[in-house]
Structure 1
Amino acid sequence: MTLLDAHARTGRVARINPVAKLGATAVLTLPLVLTLDAVSAATALALELMLFPFAGLGWREFWARTWIVWLLAPLTALTIALYGEPSGTVYVDWLLVHVSEGSLQLALATMLRVLAIALPSVVLFATVDPTDLADGLGQVLRLPARFVMGGLAALRMVGLFVDDWRALELARRARGVADRGRLRRFLGMAFALLVLSIRRGSKLSTAMEARGFGAPVVRTWARPSPFGAAEWMLIALGAAIAAAAVAAAVWAGSWNFILGPS
Structure 2
Amino acid sequence: MTLLDGRAREGRFARVNPVAKLAASGLIAIPLVLTLDVVSAATALVLEMLLMPFAGVRWREFWVRTWPVWLAAPLTALTIALYGEAGGTVHLEWFVIRVSDGSLELAAATFFRVLAIALPSVVMFLTVDPTDLADGLGQVLRLPARFVMGALAGLRMVGLFIDDWRALELARRARGVADRGRIRRLFGMAFALLVLSIRRGSKLATAMESRGFGAPGRRTWARESRFGVAEWGLMLIGLAIAGIAVGVSVLTGSWNFILGPS
TM-score, normalising length: structure 1: 0.98
Q: What SS class does the counterpart of residue 261 from structure 2 fall into?
A: coil
Q: What SS class does the counterpart of residue 93 from structure 1 fall into?
A: strand
Q: Distance in 2 between matches of 1:9 and 1:91?
A: 50
Q: Is the 8 A contact 2:130 2:156 kept in 1?
A: yes
Q: Distance in 2 between matches of 1:240 and 1:2?
A: 30
Q: Is the 8 A contact 2:41 2:109 kept in 1?
A: yes
Aligned counterpart, 1:196:
196
Q: Distance in 1 between matches of 2:253 and 2:114?
A: 21
Aligned counterpart, 1:219:
219
Query: How many residue pairs were aligned?
Result: 262
Q: Distance in 2 between matches of 1:101 and 1:53?
A: 36
* Residue 13 (structure 1) shift: 0.7
Aligned counterpart, 1:116:
116
Q: Is the 8 A contact 1:24 1:239 kept in 2?
A: yes
* Residue 4 (structure 1) shift: 5.8
Q: Distance in 1 between matches of 2:78 and 2:3?
A: 35
> Residues 54-133 of structure 1 correspond to what in structure 2 (within 5 A)?
54-133=54-133
* Residue 7 (structure 1) shift: 3.2
Q: Percent identity?
A: 76
* Residue 243 (structure 1) shift: 0.1
How far does the alpha carbon of each residue in 1:90-147 deviate from its partner, in whole angstroms, 9 at most, with x for none? 0000111111111011001001000000000000000000000011111111111101
Contiguous gaps of at least 5 residues in structure 2? none
Contiguous gaps of at least 5 residues in structure 1? none
* Residue 194 (structure 1) shift: 1.1
When the two chains are superposed, the root-mean-square deviation of aligned CA atoms in Å is 1.2
* Residue 257 (structure 1) shift: 0.6
* Residue 3 (structure 1) shift: 9.3
Displacement over 4 Å in runs of 4+: 1-4
The one-letter amino acid of 2:156's match is: R
Q: What SS class does the counterpart of residue 9 from structure 1 fall into?
A: helix
**1:52 maps to 2:52:** yes
* Residue 37 (structure 1) shift: 0.4
Q: Is the 8 A contact 2:2 2:129 kept in 1?
A: no
Q: What SS class does the counterpart of residue 123 from structure 1 fall into?
A: helix
Q: Distance in 2 between matches of 1:136 and 1:118?
A: 22
The one-letter amino acid of 2:130's match is: P
Aligned counterpart, 2:138:
138
* Residue 9 (structure 1) shift: 2.1
Change (3 A) 1:187 1:52: same
